[in-house]
Amino acid sequence: MRTHLTGTKAITATMFIFVLITSACVGSSQATSPQAESKEFNDRINKYMEIQKKAAGSIPSVPKETSDAALIAKHQQDLAAAIRAHRPKALVGEVFSPPVRQMFVATIKQKTEGKDGAAARTTILGEGNPKSSESPAEIKIAVNSTYPSTAPLSTVPPSVLMALPPLPKELQYRFVGRNLILLDTEANLIVDFIPDVV
């Protein structure tokens, strides 16, 4: 009887150790590194740019030398509509996935907190930031929504901009209040955003 109990205890102890090891392995495999997050972000950006390219190919192009503001505005509207058609179910996090969002929040906080980040924080939240209550055009912060052409564009401090992953020329980081948006400047379209990042 004593031998049977001893054997049971040994089996139980072995199973407990196995569970601990398995949990540790799973935890370590789920952990991400800044390099992995940057790669994921770049992959998502490339995926969006493929969509934008397809959308642009589905509408008439505008001559590069044109200065017709109405024609340019119409092209932007058509491009935005075509992009929406290619990603109709796009949601928050389409580009800024949870791990990527954490990376961005940590990076921006590092550059805007404390005495060293005071100037950058003032630039982001100060004059020039297109807050809805102060802007001549209300900015609806939502994925696939239009960024009004009459609304000002906020200044992104160089210290913050240099710390964030680089973007294709068609995309820009902008702040609206405390929110970071990813703006498609070709279509005046909000691709994705991170709320309350500052």
Q: Which domain holds residue 166?
A: 33-194
Distance in angstroms (rounded) separating the CA atoms of residues 150 and 154: 13
* Residue 46 domain-assigned (yes or no): yes
Q: Describe the strand order of the beta sheet including 171-176 as a list of residue ranges.
A: 171-176, 179-184, 189-194
Which has the closest alpha carbon to 80: 44, 52, 61?
A: 52
* Residue 9 domain-assigned (yes or no): no
Number of domains in the chain: 1
Place 8 in a pLDDT band, splitting at 50, 70 and 90. Answer: very low
Strand residues in 86-188 grouped as ranges (E): 171-176, 179-184
* Residue 146 domain-assigned (yes or no): yes
User: Looking at 55-69, 74-88, 96-110, 175-189, which range is the least confident one?
Assistant: 55-69
Q: Is the pLDDT of residue 43 over 90?
A: yes
How large is the average pLDDT for residues 54-71? 89
Question: What pLDDT shows up at residue 28?
Answer: 37
Q: What is the pLDDT of residues 161-176, one digit of tens each?
A: 999 999 999 999 999 9
Q: Is the pLDDT of residue 182 over 70?
A: yes
Place 100 in a pLDDT band, splitting at 50, 70 and 90. Answer: very high
* Residue 12 domain-assigned (yes or no): no
How large is the average pLDDT for residues 101-130? 90
CA distances in angstroms from 166 to 10, 159, 162, 177, 180, listed in the order given: 56, 13, 8, 22, 15
* Residue 55 domain-assigned (yes or no): yes
Tokens of 136: 């001549």
Q: Is the pLDDT of residue 151 over 90?
A: no
* Residue 15 domain-assigned (yes or no): no
* Residue 116 domain-assigned (yes or no): yes
Share of the chain above pLDDT 90, in %: 61
* Residue 83 domain-assigned (yes or no): yes
Q: What is the pLDDT of residues 117-134, one digit of tens each?
A: 999 999 998 765 765 455
